[in-house]
Structure 1
Amino acid sequence: MISTARTHRSFFAYSAALLGLLSLFAVFCFHFPELLTSKEFRAAYTEQFARHLLLAGLVAAFVMGTLAILRDRNKRVALAGVASATLAVLLGGTNVTFDAIGKTPYSLGLDWFVISLFFSALVFVPLERYLGQRRISPLRPGWRTDLTYFFMSHVLVQFILILVTASTSTVAGLAAFPALKDLIQAMPTWLQFLVAVFVADLAQALLHRAYHNTPWLWRFHAVHHSSREMDWLAGSRIHLVEILLTRSAVMLPLLVLGFSASAVNAYVILVGLQAVLAHANLGIRFGWLEYVLVLPRYHHWHHARHADYIDVNYAIHLPLVDMLMGTFKLPPHHAWPSEYGVMKLETVPRGIVRQHLMPFRSRKAYDDHVA
């Protein structure tokens, strides 16, 4: 008989554990800023902001952990959160001091992971709780795997950027379209941004369709489609090879055509926001906007475990791209998929390590799979 205690996870306990761990990571960032923080992301926030955020995380971890322990709910998880927060305080907490941050040839984006996860959860967990299309817990099956993917993609952000830049800059340097570049660079930044969104979305949609129709590419992309529930965290489940391929394919035309840095940076921000939004469990009726922007219902049908939707809705920004490609399909009457995941569930194993090894193995089925 399965214990009923195991089927009811305490939101306070797991929140305390997450906040305690994030607080501990933040303290490590203060101790080793050259190695653990991204130079590009440090420009987006102040030291004072980071200290205030750390203080809020510590207080919340102690309060939520204590409440969970007093209520006798997932006490071990809650204690782990309190212990992590306590260790963070013992290591200096918000009082850690450091000299001017030096330069290193590389660094991890641990600060990007901490801040991004904190605010993403702060925004989307309540939104999905009260506006969700499906009633699912933030601690639904597979959340640990998706959180690990979230961690990997954020912490390795600089290495991914280096690899993408190296792979695209060489090719971009060989291409020369002076007349087209002059035309684009003469545009105001806002217009460059709109054109960049269309060009980048068309590039990624073409590659996206190739993922679905080329067997060896599908083995990488199947990892992303293996999520059995759709929420803001599910979009993080992407094989590292796919991250490199997709970001290279998207950045290449933007570099070749000479879009300004401001337009490209604005596009990068849009990608981060819309990628989370498109996967989110939000049952809001957006009406005509669903035919202008890729919103949750549109992208959820792309993830549907439904034979009629395995080759549609490849765009991540503009449904216009799918309309031009002949791959646009959105059912009327606000219908939503009843099930998500790959058609053959046994072909994708559970766990981030086995999922990363899966494309390189000849096995066609796994006993411990995503079903």
Structure 2
Amino acid sequence: MQELIWTIVIATLVFLPLELVLPARRAGWGGWQRIRTDLLHVFVGGMAIRFGTALLAVALLFPFRIETAIDLPLWLQVPAVLVLCDLMFWLAHRLFHAVPVLWRFHAIHHCSEKLDFLAAFRVHPVDQIVNSTIIAAPVVLLGFSPEALAIYAVAYKWHALLLHSNVRLSLGPLDALIATPAFHHWHHADQPDAYDRNFGGQLLIWDRLFGTLNWRGGTFPETYGIEENLPENYISHMVAPFVPSKEPAYEDATAPLR
């Protein structure tokens, strides 16, 4: 819990000023109900995700470690972990968009109609536990060092907060390689021509390779969210994946997903 408290405090001190000084879009803050809901995702959901991911990883992955990468120097392990984890992130992310029963859980993350750094925490525990396990599988099984995994985990967490933040930020020529807020905001866009695009976490290489890149320079979408109108309520978010829906984005595997 202490780690979660420090995360939200530091994230607020870092990203709130950036969103005020360099806003991608001049949008309202969304009201206290939205903030309250996302803070419950931070603390209640965060604790469930940490416990569930650790339990699943210990049960499914650690017994099969083969200890082949452990002898590599750390400066080689870190980029190798980044590339492997980002590939698995793309695959897991694509899977959760393509399979209707998985989309029901991932849709909670996409129901935010306002994107800022807090929206990064709006995730269903089932979504994140399964995703995290898939992403970690290769690097855990290959025996990468705890130090390399820790460096990646920290970089991933803070990069994810940046990607969801309402910040207009360009890395210059590196925009073609490294994910930026503009790149990820289009993944959350509520318009059909943006569906099923920009699945990468840190890198754009997999979207380029697999034909899912939606590159629109430094522009940002006008609207975010999903067709399913979910209330700004944490309990509703936890229950929604288990409630039958009439929306085609949930029930029809041929319909465009988010």
- Alpha-carbon distance in 2 for matches of 1:187, 1:194: 11
Which residue identity does 1:201 align to in structure 2? Answer: D
Aligned equivalents of 1:277, 1:231: Cα separation in 2: 9
Instruction: Give the counterpart letter for 1:345 in structure 2.
Output: E
1:119 and 1:137 mapped to 2: Cα distance?
22
Kindly indicate whether residue 95 of structure 2 is the aligned counterpart of residue 213 of structure 1. Answer: no
| 2:119 is aligned with 1:234 | yes
Deviation of 1:156 after TM superposition, in Å, equals 4.0
Deviation at 1:160, TM superposition (A): 3.1
Where 2:117 maps in the other structure, the secondary structure is coil
Q: Matched residues in 2 for 1:360 and 1:269: separation?
A: 32
Deviation of the 1:233 alpha carbon:
0.4
Q: Distance in 1 between matches of 2:179 and 2:78?
A: 17
**Which of 183, 191, 207 pairs up with 1:322?**
207
> 5+ unaligned residues in a row in structure 2: which ranges?
248-258
Structure 2 residue aligned with 1:335: 219
In structure 2, the residue matched to 1:115 is 6
Report the alpha carbon displacement of residue 328 of structure 1 after superposing the two structures with TM.
1.4
Q: Normalised by the size of structure 1, how large is the TM-score?
A: 0.62
Partner in structure 2 of residue 244 of structure 1:
129
CA contact (8 A) 1:164 1:247 kept: no
User: 2:251 aligns to what?
Assistant: none
Deviation, 1:311, is 1.0
Q: What amino acid is aligned across from residue 219 of structure 1 in structure 2?
A: R
- The one-character-per-residue Cα deviations of 1:224-253 (angstroms, maximum 9, x if unpaired) are 000001100001100010111011111111
One-letter amino acid of the structure 1 residue matched with residue 228 of structure 2: L
Partner of 1:162: 54
CA distance in structure 1 between the partners assigned to 2:97 and 2:232 by the alignment: 21
Q: CA deviation at 1:143?
A: 2.0
C-alpha distance after superposition, 1:13-63 (max 9, x if no partner): xxxxxxxxxxxxxxxxxxxxxxxxxxxxxxxxxxxxxxxxxxxxxxxxxxx
- Residue pair 2:25, 2:220 contacting (<8 A) in 1 also: no
Which letter maps to 2:63?
G
Shift of 1:167: 3.9
Query: How far off its partner does 1:261 sit?
Result: 1.1
The residue correspondences of 1:92-131 to structure 2 (distance < 5 A) are: 109=1, 111-131=2-22
In structure 2, how many angstroms separate the alpha carbons of the residues matched to 1:354 and 1:241?
15
What is the match of residue 42 of structure 2?
Answer: 150
Residue identity opposite 1:354 in structure 2: S
Contact 1:220 1:242 in 2 (8 A): yes
Q: Determine what percentage of the aligned residue pairs are the same residue.
A: 31
Contact between 1:163 and 1:244, CA under 8 Å: does it hold in 2? no
Between the two structures, name the one with larger relative contact order (CA 8 Å, sep ≥ 6): 2
Contact kept in structure 2, 1:223 and 1:355, CA below 8 Å = yes
1:335 corresponds to which letter in structure 2? T
Equivalences, count:
246
Conserved 8 A contact 1:313-1:322: yes
Q: Paired residue for 1:135?
A: 26
Kindly provide the amino acid, as one letter, of the partner of residue 56 in structure 2.
V
> What is the identity, as a one-letter code, of the residue corresponding to 1:253?
P
Query: Which entry has the higher C-alpha Rg, 1 or 2?
Result: 1
Letter in 2 for 1:322: D
CA distance in 2, matches of 1:251, 1:114: 24
* 1:158–1:329 distance in 2 versus 1, CA, 3 Å: closer
The equivalences for 1:1-371 within 5 A come to: 109=1, 111-138=2-29, 140=31, 142-156=34-48, 158-169=50-61, 172-174=62-64, 176=66, 181=68, 184-332=69-217, 334-342=218-226, 344-346=227-229, 348-364=230-246
Q: Distance in 1 between matches of 2:34 and 2:111?
A: 10
Cα drift, residue 188 of structure 1:
1.6
Q: Which consecutive residues of structure 1, in runs of 5 or more, have no partner in the other structure?
A: 1-108, 366-371
- The answer to whether the 8 Å contact 1:302/1:312 transfers is yes
TM-score using structure 2 length: 0.88
Q: Distance in 2 between matches of 1:228 and 1:173?
A: 42
